A and B are shown apart, each in its own frame.
Chain A
Amino acid sequence: MKRRWTLYDPRLAWMLVAPVLLLLIFFLVLPIAVMAGYTFFTFVTAGVETSALTTANWHEFLTDSYYSGFLLKTLRVGAITAALCGVLGYFPAYFIWATTFRHKWLLLLLLIVPFWISFTIRTFSWINILGEQGVINVALLKLGIINEPLPMLYNEGAVILGMLHFLLPYMILNVYVSLESIDRTLISAARSMGCTSAQAFREVTLPLSLPGLAAGLLLCFVLAAGSYVTPQLLGSGRDALFGNLIYDTIMGELNWPMGATLSIVLFIVLGLFAAVYTRYMGMSQIVKGLGG
């Protein structure tokens, strides 16, 4: 016997979410599950592996300092990038929030415009600034300050700069969203009780904007640690990060089991950071930051 359909029937809801749900299962959940299984496959030779189960890949990863070195470097670069984003991103976010400038929307729009510009183009455009024929070197040479172009490209600094460039808008928008949700009467109240503006900032505004800052830090850290294109374009071979290692292992060496192992490692490590974050902060701030 068929049950009657109610107004907000769960069965209808499932039908509505079915396409997205299927996509998520077949393109996100299942791939990661299969990849986890693949880490136990045996590598024979480039592009060939057998399903004989082995822990050799994990053993190699855990004992070879080559891999742990890569992981540590990636985490370090990600942490430096996120911290710089936090420091440099807070000022503009606060400025946009506090300014009495009438065309505030323009400042916000300018932050969103970079999201529309191709990421590859934004990254390689730094070559025009830092390269041997870039703005800085040519200007300094013309002025006679230096005799030879400074080598500013293809090092870790350039990679961090490039990542900073694409991550700053994320950070600024995240902090701005949380500043915007602060009840401004709280600050007036603090001021009327005799706080200086610096005290009011330290005691009221800053603590209340910390969730946005934390969400921004997590987002910047995860995106920086998972990046592939920026080290590829702005770094030398020595500045490769974990993402590049994964790509080379799979597309270059065709060592699929090891590539799967490395991917799962990165997934687990970044997942742990995200889990610690959500444990204390919850998901809602990230949702606000992404959709904001």
Chain B
Amino acid sequence: MRETRRKQEGRWAWRLTGFVTVCVYIFMFAPIVATVILSFNASMFGGFPMTGFSLQWYGKLMANEAVLAAFRTSLWIALVTAIVTTAIGVTTAFALVRFDFRGKQALSTLVILPALVPETILGVGLLVLIKAVDQPRTMLLLVLGHILLAVPYVVLIAQARMIGIRRVYEEAALSLGASRFSSFREITLPLLIPAVVGGALLAFTISFDNTSASLFWRPAGVETMPTQILSMLKISISPEINALGTVMILVTVGIPLIGGLVLQSLTKLRRRGEPKEETQ
């Protein structure tokens, strides 16, 4: 009897776990789904009930010069951030994993700090520094700030992958007369590709999405996509914002998904070329 009651208890506990899990997933996606649905609402007001299907808000959006300008700005910043952060992040991860030098431990702690310090503090800090040396806020400052925010993630991803790549491969290339640079390019980099692509995508979305710090750092008159949304929300909640949200979701979810798929098929192709891959 006791045995069966215990089994019953276990089953109930498992059901509860499943139930909470489903609730959490619904909680995570319900608002997003509601936003996407509402973007097609014909109603003049940004809310339920649905009064009909319409694409007018997308039309309005495409004609909104301020939104388009902000979108272009964010796209450029995110692209530059992704490229630069990946380049300097991967070389740093390479040095942190392969080399031994004094201060290595301190550096690997320092490098993840930008992910842990609240953006408001980073934002104010940089502004105070700029003010202290009497420099204006420029686009370069904003981009460098975004790079700072993305660096921890790229370094961590590249480091995790780097640890799995055995150094004998590089050393073999070196002993066969390859230069330092070409051994990195020919051996290490191809093995690092998943981390490079993953890091670049993450850096892109971090920059494209950044709000709080950008509010502090943007030059006067420049709006990035998130700050533009924020200022639109201050005026009123129009269905146009729902349409804008839907477009943003398509861009930021679509790019990593497509990137992931491309990556997967690439590795499959390469696997077919090689008899056996050993990266672990």
Contact = CB atoms under 8 A, between A and B. Distances in A.
Contacts of A128: 31, 34-35, 38, 46-48, 242
B17 A27 contact: no
B45 interface: yes
B212 A228 contact: yes
Contacts of A229: 211-212, 230
A236 interface: no
B129 A34 contact: yes
A223 B124 contact: no
Interface stretch (B57-65, B142-150, B186-194): B142-150
Given A119-B209, A165-B28, A287 B156 contact: yes
A228 B122 CA distance: 13
Nearest to B244: A121
Contacts of B104: 13
B98 interface: yes
Given A16-B91, A30-B129, A134-B47, A260 B230 contact: no
Interface string B94-108: 111011111010010
Interface string B116-134: 1111111011111101100
How many interface residues does chain A have, given as a range? 35 or more
Given A10-B101, A91-B17, A118 B209 contact: yes
A132 B91 contact: no
A279 to B, nearest CB: 14
Given A38-B128, A291-B153, A122 B233 contact: no
Interface in A238-291: 242-243, 246-247, 250-251, 256, 259-260, 263, 266-267, 270, 274, 283, 286-287, 290-291
Contacts of A30: 129
Contacts of B242: 128
Contact of A197 (B10, B120, B144): B10
Interface residues on B, range: 35 or more
A12 B25 CA distance: 47
A132 B47 contact: yes
Q: For the complex, would chain A's binding face be called helix, strand, loop or mixed by DSSP majority?
A: helix
Nearest to B155: A20
A292 B112 CA distance: 14
Interface in A47-86: none
19 contacts: A19-B91, A23-B88, A24-B110, A24-B148, A28-B125, A91-B16, A91-B21, A110-B25, A113-B253, A114-B32, A116-B253, A138-B48, A142-B49, A197-B13, A219-B116, A228-B215, A250-B216, A283-B109, A287-B156
Interface of A: 7-10, 12-14, 16-17, 19-21, 23-24, 27-32, 34-35, 38, 88-89, 91-92, 94-96, 98, 110-111, 113-122, 124-129, 131-135, 138, 142, 164-165, 168-169, 172, 196-198, 219, 222-223, 225-229, 232-233, 242-243, 246-247, 250-251, 256, 259-260, 263, 266-267, 270, 274, 283, 286-287, 290-291
Interface of B: 6, 9-10, 13, 16-18, 20-21, 24-25, 27-32, 34-35, 38, 45-49, 88-89, 91-92, 94-96, 98-102, 104, 107, 109-122, 124-129, 131-132, 144-145, 147-148, 151-153, 155-157, 159-160, 171, 174, 180, 205, 208-209, 211-212, 215-216, 225-226, 229-230, 233, 237, 241-242, 245, 248-249, 252-253, 256
The 10 residue pairs across chains A and B that have the minimum distance between CB atoms: A133-B47, A226-B118, A31-B125, A291-B156, A13-B99, A125-B31, A91-B20, A16-B95, A10-B101, A138-B48
